[in-house]
Amino acid sequence: MGMTMTQKILAAHAGLESVKAGQLIMANLDLVLGNDITTPVAVNEMEKAGFDGVFDKSKIALVMDHFVPNKDLKAAQNCKQCRTFARKFDIDHYYDVGDMGIEHALLPEKGLVAAGECIIGADSHTCTYGALGAFSTGIGSTDMAAGMATGQCWFKVPEAIKFYVTGELGEDVCGKDVILHIIGQIGVDGALYKSMEFSGPGLKNLSIDDRFTIANMAIEAGAKNGIFAVDEITTEYMKGRVDREYTIYEADEDAEYVQTIEVNLSEIKPTVAFPHLPENTRTIDEVGDVKIDQVVIGSCTNGRMSDMEAAYNILKGKKVHKDVRCIVIPATQAIYMECLKKGYLEAFIEAGCVVSTPTCGPCLGGYMGILAEGERCISTTNRNFVGRMGHVTSEVYLSNPAVAAASAITGKISSPKEVK
Amino acid sequence: MKAQGFVHTFGDNVDTDVIYPGQYLNIPDPKAMAAHAMEGIDPGFVKRVNKGDIMVVGQNFGCGSSREHAPLALKEAGIDCVIAKTFARIFYRNAINIGLAILECEEAVDGISAGDSVSIDFDTGLITNETKGETYQSEPFPEFIKDIINKNGLMNSLK
């Protein structure tokens, strides 16, 4: 029996000829990632267990992005602990205020992740790098500690669902709508413990940013990882960023999939996930009258250049509704700079938005946009759980950047068509 | 290894944001995390829970974030074992890695009610509902994972 793309990468990293679904393996890691909230717990675990060293200082990335610039004293202490650890072990890829960005936008941009690699990160959205054809998955702080100390991680080899992609995206539709559509179809545990493997003729119509967004939210369907077949779009993106050898893995012809789902991009409409689960999806024409108090455009899901461009195209020359606070957060310093050079920031500010330095802040109810009792937010982030962005009675609606920007103008969830 | 205690029940898709709200992620000390366990869904939970209690929950428990704060808070609050129909995968491995016992058993979740007294034998996977006089058989863990649990977590097993 042949192997899926994920199984091939895992086999290669476990030093095995082949693996099969359900098998427990120990895999060698190409990169271990942590952020300012998960790294302190990992560092404490390492110290408690008596480890005084890391397996490879060039294969660890620490990104201060959740609560920075430090939101309070505890956050300041946590970042200080990460900084001290990074200096002590001379960690090559330590990103702090000034050069940091949201981790899952930053690592691909810096060329730290590549096709065929085996990556763990103490952040659930680490599955983002599957967009480049890597096996990449979220783990907790203890796995991160063990990974930093030993360079290895245990895995149960996953089964896979094949998503056969056809067609092309319509106007105002992007990767976010594709993944929300899929989660709406299969549910928040529809891919539990499994890989989501994307292939088919429609991939050529999905930009690398669309793929990052889709792979990013594989976790919201319960998946272990989301992974895309590597093509010219992938290799073009890695060119000039990844300066080391990488391996392109392809699924075997006779690889076993527990299910095959066809995704016709041409049929997907702008999609909104209603509270309080990402599976509660409605297409934009089914939304009805939903007034909003806040808009967030950013995050590891939708804070990349194409997302900023989609928001800019809607917001330029327009005004944010008087009852709405619109927060725009470019995901990295490079994206921020490009927005500056292209005049996007000026357009956002003239429209009445606030533009923040990179941070995960509002997405997880950390800071920079906490919701009060009963408030509603439409957000390009990834989760709309109870209390996710603030008070337990507040509500989060998930959408793409064009829908979020249009809603900022009208004050209610709106199709981009309404404001063009 | 055995556990015995009274049961607290929760439903399907209980996410890590309600198990441990994001605003407290700046707390790195597990003992301090315990004060906020289940705060997003049941603010009175920490006051009701006693050491050795057991949680019985539905499908996809612990979905969402990778925050280890979620299983750590439950463990420190006194929970000895979580029995679910299914766990979200990161919560599943986090629980094993930090030494919080977990079991998947649909039959047990359907049979057990809040307040029941339940005992668990982890070697055999047998769950006994002492209140109702019923037993349920869960799949025991593979040896590899049993070893991590018996050594009280991943870091200890690496020593």
Domain ranges of chain B: 2-158
pLDDT digits 0-9 by tens, A353-392: 999 999 999 999 999 999 999 999 999 999 999 999 999 9
Interface residue B101 vs chain A (CB under 8 A): no
Tell me the percentage of chain A whose pLDDT exceeds 90: 100
Count of alpha carbons within 13 Å of A78, Cβ hemisphere only? 29
Interface residue A78 vs chain B (CB under 8 A): yes
Q: Is the peptide bond before A40 cis (omega within 30 degrees of 0)?
A: no
Amino acid A338: pLDDT: 98
For CA atoms A225, A267, A272, A277, the dihedral sign is negative
Alpha carbon distances (Å) from A42 to A32, A59, A238, A264? 11, 16, 30, 42
Interface residue A143 vs chain B (CB under 8 A): yes
Interface residue A139 vs chain B (CB under 8 A): yes
**CB proximity under 8 Å: A 31-60 to B:** 37-38, 40-41, 44-46, 48-50
Which pLDDT band, with edges at 50, 70 and 90, does B2 fall under?
A: confident
What's the gap in Å between the CA of A1 and the closest CA on chain B? 24
pLDDT digits 0-9 by tens, B103-116: 999 999 999 999 99
Which pLDDT band, with edges at 50, 70 and 90, does A26 fall under?
A: very high
Residues of chain A with CATH 3.30.499.10: 5-265, 271-419
Residues in chain B closer than 8 A to A38 (CB atoms): 66-68
Interface residue A123 vs chain B (CB under 8 A): yes
Residues in chain B closer than 8 A to A386 (CB atoms): 15, 17-18, 40-41
Interface residue B26 vs chain A (CB under 8 A): yes
Interface residue B142 vs chain A (CB under 8 A): yes
**CB proximity under 8 Å: B 58-77 to A:** 59-60, 63-69, 71-72
pLDDT digits 0-9 by tens, B122-139: 889 999 999 999 999 998
Please give the DSSP secondary-structure letter assigned to residue A158.
P
Cβ within 8 Å of residue B49, ≥6 positions away:
B8, B37, B77, B78, B79
CATH classification number, B2-158, choose in 3.90.1150.30, 3.40.630.30, 3.20.19.10, 3.40.50.410:
3.20.19.10
CATH classification number, A5-265, choose in 3.40.50.970, 3.30.9.10, 3.30.499.10, 3.30.70.1560:
3.30.499.10
Please state the pTM of the whole predicted model: 0.97
Mutation pick from B74, B85, B155 vs chain A, by most beta carbons of A within 10 Å, is: B155
pLDDT digits 0-9 by tens, B22-31: 999 999 899 9
Taking the domain A271-419, which CATH number applies?
3.30.499.10
Of A326, A324, A332, nearest to A401 by C-alpha is A326
Please give the DSSP secondary-structure letter assigned to residue B56.
E
Rg (CA), chain A: 20
* Mean pLDDT of the region B45-59: 97
Cβ pair B159:A123 closer than 8 A? no
Please give the DSSP secondary-structure letter assigned to residue B86.
-
Q: Show the 3-state SS of A39-106.
A: HHHHHHHHHHCCCCCCCCCCCEEEECCCCCCCCCHHHHHHHHHHHHHHHHCCCCEEECCCCCCCHHHH
Complex confidence, ipTM: 0.95
